[in-house]
């Protein structure tokens, strides 16, 4: 029997949109493939290299096929896919459930089976599928079912990444459509407000993520520092602080989102690499059981739960991932009571704590754990039960 593993855990990779938008080319993709391998990203788990919108001409050819823009991709998509594969990476592309993509290129509406076959022929391993220009009378749910069926029957394993921005109560129907992940929010921007808003909007949706259908909170802005072709995504004035990028990565990792890098990894600094390649956080994100993270309130209990909270994720081996987050403007001392994670004091159980950012053992704690967390920063622990 065929082993079903595609989409078991959230996808890890790189996507062209956040930094480069329309300004993509064969050269950029090949250089990024090189950097994914040479700079340790592939080894850390980032295997998908995904070209987003703006790769095709504005018209299909006479047979109705999508045509790669010859100025950007002079050797066609098969050549790009071959290069990406030669590096040990997987290749991703982008299309749309509507008549056009969000940037106005042809979408796959009424061409689903033809396009899926074309993607398979080019050697595509991942398809991001957007929601712009959906004919008003069409049911969006049906369009994702169509493309899912087309991909599952195109002769190649293609990971299906839905992108309808959380519209039409997507979490209610996306799992049965066959998609491996679904975008649940509006597009991310490289600023702290955007990161906070996305995280807070998904905290209560923890039941709607898991193996084979992960809640995609959008591509990462870690390491962009405001640098994007789009002034709406970046702002050219520095983006976020490193602490905020670290919290962003921790939230996405703990909440089970795919981790798709959005910065220019050809020129990333050491801090960016250390964040994106944090193997302890990646292990939490890639835990085989892919459980959602639940929120517990921190002490003191007068803190607004949107300002300071703890996320807990149960891991396959019995450990707990515990994240202490401070969204407020001041340093806070945050206390987690073990009772709130299912550990009564009378059990005598303690937790042996490992700090996933400092990469060190902190010792064994009973009943509670407290830490000073600066504004915008976080502490992520991997806790082992000691009974």
Q: Determine the 3-state secondary structure of 385 from DSSP.
A: strand
CB closer to ligand GLA out of 52 and 377 = 52
Contact between 168 and 141 under an 8 Å Cβ cutoff? The reply is yes
| Residue 130 contacts ligand GLA per CB under 6 A | yes
* Continuous segment of H or E residues that includes residue 119: helix 112-122
130 is an active site residue: yes
| Residue 103 contacts ligand GLA per CB under 6 A | yes
Q: Count residues near ligand GLA (CB under 6 A).
A: 10
Tell me the closest approach of the beta carbon of residue 288 to ligand GLA, in angstroms: 28
Q: For ligand GLA, which residue of 50, 102, 120, 281 counts as binding (CB under 6 A)? A: 102
| Residue 216 contacts ligand GLA per CB under 6 A | no
Tell me the closest approach of the beta carbon of residue 21 to ligand GLA, in angstroms: 7
Tell me the closest approach of the beta carbon of residue 115 to ligand GLA, in angstroms: 16
End-to-end Cα distance, the chain: 40
Q: Where are the alpha helices (DSSP H) in 153-278?
A: 170-177, 192-202, 242-254, 270-276
Q: For ligand GLA, which residue of 69, 82, 168, 187 counts as binding (CB under 6 A)? A: 187
Contact between 31 and 81 under an 8 Å Cβ cutoff? The reply is no
Cα 8 to Cα 207: distance, rounded to the nearest angstrom = 16
Residue with tokens 């079903």: 4
Tell me the closest approach of the beta carbon of residue 268 to ligand GLA, in angstroms: 20
Contact between 140 and 102 under an 8 Å Cβ cutoff? The reply is no
CB closer to ligand GLA out of 52 and 112 = 52
Cα 325 to Cα 382: distance, rounded to the nearest angstrom = 15
Q: For ligand GLA, which residue of 26, 47, 53, 216 counts as binding (CB under 6 A)? A: 53
Instruction: Give the side-chain half-sphere CA count within 13 A for 136.
Output: 0
Cα 295 to Cα 312: distance, rounded to the nearest angstrom = 6
- Annotated catalytic residue within 187, 274, 280, 355: 187
Neighbours of 374 (CB within 10 A): 12
Tell me the closest approach of the beta carbon of residue 299 to ligand GLA, in angstroms: 38
| Residue 212 neighbours by CB under 8 Å, 6+ apart | 7, 8, 175, 180
CB closer to ligand GLA out of 32 and 278 = 32
* 166-95-47 Cα angle (round to 5): 85
| Residue 52 contacts ligand GLA per CB under 6 A | yes
Tell me the closest approach of the beta carbon of residue 105 to ligand GLA, in angstroms: 9
| Residue 259 contacts ligand GLA per CB under 6 A | no
287 is an active site residue: no
| Residue 17 contacts ligand GLA per CB under 6 A | yes
Residue 122 — left, alpha, or beta (φ > 0 → left; ψ -120 to 50 → alpha)? alpha
The distance from CA 272 to its chain's CA centroid, rounded to whole angstroms, is: 16
CB closer to ligand GLA out of 130 and 319 = 130
CB closer to ligand GLA out of 113 and 165 = 165
Contact between 352 and 387 under an 8 Å Cβ cutoff? The reply is no
Q: For ligand GLA, which residue of 93, 163, 311, 343 counts as binding (CB under 6 A)? A: 163
Stretch that binds ligand GLA, among 98-106, 224-232, 313-321, 323-331 (CB under 6 A): 98-106
Tell me the closest approach of the beta carbon of residue 340 to ligand GLA, in angstroms: 36
Tell which positions 321-380 bind ligand GLA, by CB under 6 A: none
Give the single-character DSSP code of 387: -
- Annotated catalytic residue within 53, 130, 216, 287: 130
Residues lying near ligand GLA in the complex (CB under 6 A) are found at 17, 52-53, 101-103, 130, 163, 165, 187
Catalytic sites, residue numbers: 130, 187
């Amino acid at each position: 029997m065929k082993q079903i593993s595609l989409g078991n855990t959230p996808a890890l990779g790189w996507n062209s949109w956040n930094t480069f938008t329309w300004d993509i080319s064969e050269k950029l993709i090949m250089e990024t493939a090189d950097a994914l391998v040479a700079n340790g990203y592939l080894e850390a788990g980032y295997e998908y290299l995904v070209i987003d919108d703006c790769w095709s001409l504005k018209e299909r050819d006479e047979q109705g096929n999508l045509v790669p823009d010859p100025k950007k991709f002079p050797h066609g998509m098969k050549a790009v896919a071959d290069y990406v594969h030669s590096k040990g990476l997987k290749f991703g592309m982008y299309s749309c459930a509507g008549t056009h993509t969000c940037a106005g290129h042809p979408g796959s509406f009424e061409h689903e089976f033809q396009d899926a076959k074309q993607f398979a022929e080019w050697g595509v391993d991942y398809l991001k599928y957007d929601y712009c220009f959906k004919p008003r009378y069409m049911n969006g749910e049906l369009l994702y079912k169509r493309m899912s069926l087309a991909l599952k029957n195109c002769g190649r394993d293609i990971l299906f990444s839905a992108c309808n921005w959380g519209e039409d109560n997507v979490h209610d129907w996306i799992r049965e459509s066959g998609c491996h992940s679904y975008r649940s929010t509006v597009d991310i921007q490289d600023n702290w407000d955007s990161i906070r808003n996305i995280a807070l909007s998904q905290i209560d949706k923890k039941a709607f993520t898991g193996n084979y259908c992960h809640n995609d909170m959008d591509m990462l802005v870690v390491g962009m520092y405001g640098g994007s072709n789009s002034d709406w995504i970046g702002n050219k004035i520095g983006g976020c602080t490193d602490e905020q990028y670290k919290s962003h990565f921790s939230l996405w990792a703990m909440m089970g989102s795919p981790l798709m890098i959005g910065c220019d990894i050809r020129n990333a600094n050491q801090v960016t690499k250390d964040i994106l390649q944090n193997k302890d956080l990646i292990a939490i994100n890639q835990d085989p059981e892919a459980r959602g993270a639940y929120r517990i309130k921190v002490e003191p209990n007068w803190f607004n739960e949107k300002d300071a909270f703890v996320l807990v994720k149960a891991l396959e081996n019995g450990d707990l991932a515990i994240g202490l987050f401070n969204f407020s403007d001041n340093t806070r001392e945050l206390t987690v009571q073990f009772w709130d994670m299912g550990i009564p004091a009378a059990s005598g159980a303690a937790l042996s704590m490992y700090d996933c950012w400092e990469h060190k053992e902190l010792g064994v704690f009973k009943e509670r754990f407290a830490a000073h967390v600066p504004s915008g920063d976080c502490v992520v622990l991997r806790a082992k039960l000691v009974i």
